[in-house]
Structure 1
């Protein structure tokens, strides 16, 4: 399974760059989800990552197609309220488009609209979604049966839950607080990475 590290919008540009540079070799992708940062701050972050030898192929920008095009980033993640993935794919066919979904119906719609993959959640209880019941693992199991495109799980995932997600046939996991809120982000990322490599 693949491992996606999702930023938590709680660090400065410099702090965030430092963490990403530390974990760059043990994650498959870094999803930049910094909703309160300006375009110029995101660009500054990307430039720091380039200086730190982070491969730009590993970067996914959340809802910032404009910055992706300007900085030659090939991956974008579109929330449900964002641009239609079909329109993005038609105009920019080389961009890999992920869609955030919360139900099987939304996932099917994303596939029809030419999304390259879906990010499904939240699977488990998480502080990021306080007061909201998790969507659960059963939907993930059904989603994998119904869809042809990859499905990644997000939300409340701990290393101990990776096995259950693997058994649901998910293509990978996306982890936010488990890495970016950790006192030792690299050690935490390695722990998730090792669980993703396990076969059972």
Structure 2
């Protein structure tokens, strides 16, 4: 899914929520607020049927407000519901294989941790955006890799949107945005905040 203006802002990732109604109730106001640039559906604990059901419901919400829905690590689900794209975390399928399956216009993201060389390879293989992290400790994205804002300076000529992820909040995301991050991917920094909509708007405002 290409645009003439590179996307910037909040890349919201859904938390693992078993109750469908609760997931929608927590996500809909954030989408309606206008503070979300992209939404990623990520649920590592649900079964296939529930993941399909939740993804379809989120897709309807996203389409209503013009926000692309990206599916985490499930090519079959992304294709089945007609999602805007896919984010790859595992290495079961190559990015080139995923690009062929998704077609030329879908969003295809790759986790590149703290490694600019990995991001360069990902773009050559068909990624339309890359993510770096974790920048801070994160319950949802535990990793031994710890990125710094310098990774954005090292990838300034990459030519695709670059995403920062890992423990980001309105209070600590400023330096990564200033360093060149095009989007900040957040779960807990928004959904666990005392006022999730205020947190989402504060993150989006960093890009103003």
TM-score normalized with structure 1 length: 0.86
Give the corresponding residue for 2:74. Answer: 64
Q: Is the contact between residue 9 and residue 203 of structure 2 (CA under 8 Å) also seen in structure 1?
A: no
Give the corresponding residue for 1:112. Answer: 124
Give the corresponding residue for 1:27. Answer: 36
State the SS of the aligned residue for 1:29.
strand
State the SS of the aligned residue for 1:41.
helix
- Offset at 1:82? 3.8
State the SS of the aligned residue for 1:136.
coil
Q: Is the contact between residue 73 and residue 90 of structure 2 (CA under 8 Å) also seen in structure 1?
A: no
Q: Is the contact between residue 130 and residue 160 of structure 2 (CA under 8 Å) also seen in structure 1?
A: yes
Alignment counterpart, residue 56 of structure 2, candidates 47, 61, 76 = 47
State the SS of the aligned residue for 2:171.
helix
Give the corresponding residue for 1:155. Answer: 166
Q: 1:30 to 1:129 in 2, by over 3 A?
A: closer
**Rounded Cα–Cα distance in structure 2 between residues aligned with 1:130 and 1:79:** 13
Whether 2:20 is the aligned partner of 1:13: answer yes
Q: 1:50 to 1:122 in 2, by over 3 A?
A: closer
Give the corresponding residue for 2:97. Answer: 87
Bigger helix share = 1
**Rounded Cα–Cα distance in structure 2 between residues aligned with 1:96 and 1:133:** 24
State the SS of the aligned residue for 2:185.
strand
- Offset at 1:87? 1.1
State the SS of the aligned residue for 1:36.
coil
Q: 1:159 to 1:57 in 2, by over 3 A?
A: closer
**Structure 1 unaligned spans of 5+:** none
**Structure 2 unaligned spans of 5+:** 1-7
Which moved further from structure 2: 27-36 or 75-84?
75-84
Q: 1:141 to 1:91 in 2, by over 3 A?
A: same
**1:161-200 alignment to 2 at 5 Å?**
161-197=172-208
Alignment counterpart, residue 74 of structure 1, candidates 84, 87, 108 = 84
Q: Is the contact between residue 3 and residue 174 of structure 1 (CA under 8 Å) also seen in structure 2?
A: yes
- Offset at 1:83? 1.7
Q: 1:188 to 1:130 in 2, by over 3 A?
A: same
Which moved further from structure 2: 94-103 or 58-67?
94-103
TM-score normalized with structure 2 length: 0.83
